[in-house]
């Protein structure tokens, strides 16, 4: 199994945490992973992205050029990043879009909507990660929860766990 994942959104949407948790989980599962974030002069609302390569074998470039999976916390970024996706690849969007992208599969995850309704608005990224795990099988839910326990504690852990399960139970809908 080899999957190249690109995650993008706006600063504050938890894009880098999404990538970090995913990478942490892969390590726990004993597989190979690389994570490369955008870095430097980040601002809330500015573009934020990270590359995560998950593999059973050696990983060459850590910079994802043609993602198998694209995760967009801001659906408005579809125009920019959508065409990068490998033909046949899947795009997970936190929001509906009018028009999909030829040759790629668009998947809708109501991440921020669900997170807000359940009182954990800032954990929309974990709803998305739960849905991604459910739809792609890239990582297991159990190891996801273990990884969260390594990163957070107390209320923050509970909020994230809740969001993760919510995403996993709900999954995504093909657009």
Q: Does 20 bind another protein (CB under 8 A)?
A: yes
SS (HEC) of the chain: CEEEEEEEEECCCCHHHHHHHHHHHHHHCCCEEEEEECCCCCCCCCEEEEEEEEECCCCCCCCCCCCCEEEECCHHHHHHHHHHCCCCCEEEECCCCCCCCCCCEEEECCHHHHHHHCCCHHHHHHHHHHHHHHHHCCCCHHHHHHHHHHHCCHHHHHHHHHHHHHHHHHCCEEC
Stretch that binds another protein, among 7-15, 37-45, 96-104, 165-173 (CB under 8 A): 37-45
Interface residue with another protein among 43, 65, 140, 174 (CB under 8 A) is 65
Give the nearer residue to another protein in terms of CB position, either 75 or 89. 89
CA distance 117 to 104: 30
3 DSSP β-pair partners: 54
Least Å distance between CB 36 and another protein?
Answer: 4
Any idea how long the chain is? 175
Q: Does 42 bind another protein (CB under 8 A)?
A: no
Q: Does 48 bind another protein (CB under 8 A)?
A: no
CA distance 57 to 162: 32
Q: Does 39 bind another protein (CB under 8 A)?
A: yes
Q: Does 149 bind another protein (CB under 8 A)?
A: no
Q: Does 37 bind another protein (CB under 8 A)?
A: yes
Interface with another protein (CB under 8 A), residue total 21
Stretch that binds another protein, among 39-47, 69-77, 105-113, 163-171 (CB under 8 A): 39-47
Give the nearer residue to another protein in terms of CB position, either 65 or 149. 65
Give the nearer residue to another protein in terms of CB position, either 40 or 88. 40
Chain residues that interact with another protein, rule: CB under 8 A: 20, 23-24, 27, 32-37, 39-41, 58-63, 65-66
């Amino acid at each position: 199994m080899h999957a190249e994942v690109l995650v993008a959104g706006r600063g504050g949407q938890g894009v880098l945490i999404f990538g970090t948790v995913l990478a942490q989980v892969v390590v726990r599962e004993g597989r190979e992973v690389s994570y490369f974030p955008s870095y430097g002069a980040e601002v809330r609302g500015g573009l934020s992205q990270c590359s995560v390569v998950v593999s059973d074998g050696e990983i060459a470039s850590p910079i994802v050029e043609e993602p198998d999976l694209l995760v967009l916390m801001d659906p408005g970024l579809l125009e920019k990043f959508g065409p990068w996706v490998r033909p046949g690849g899947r795009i997970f969007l936190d929001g509906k879009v009018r028009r999909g992208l030829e040759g790629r599969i668009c998947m809708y995850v109501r991440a921020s909507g669900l997170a807000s309704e359940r009182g954990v608005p800032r954990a929309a990224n974990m709803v998305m990660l739960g849905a991604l795990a459910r739809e792609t099988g890239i990582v297991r839910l159990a190891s996801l929860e273990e990884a969260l326990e390594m990163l957070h504690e107390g209320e923050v852990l509970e909020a994230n766990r809740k969001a993760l399960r919510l995403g996993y139970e709900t999954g995504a809908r093909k657009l």
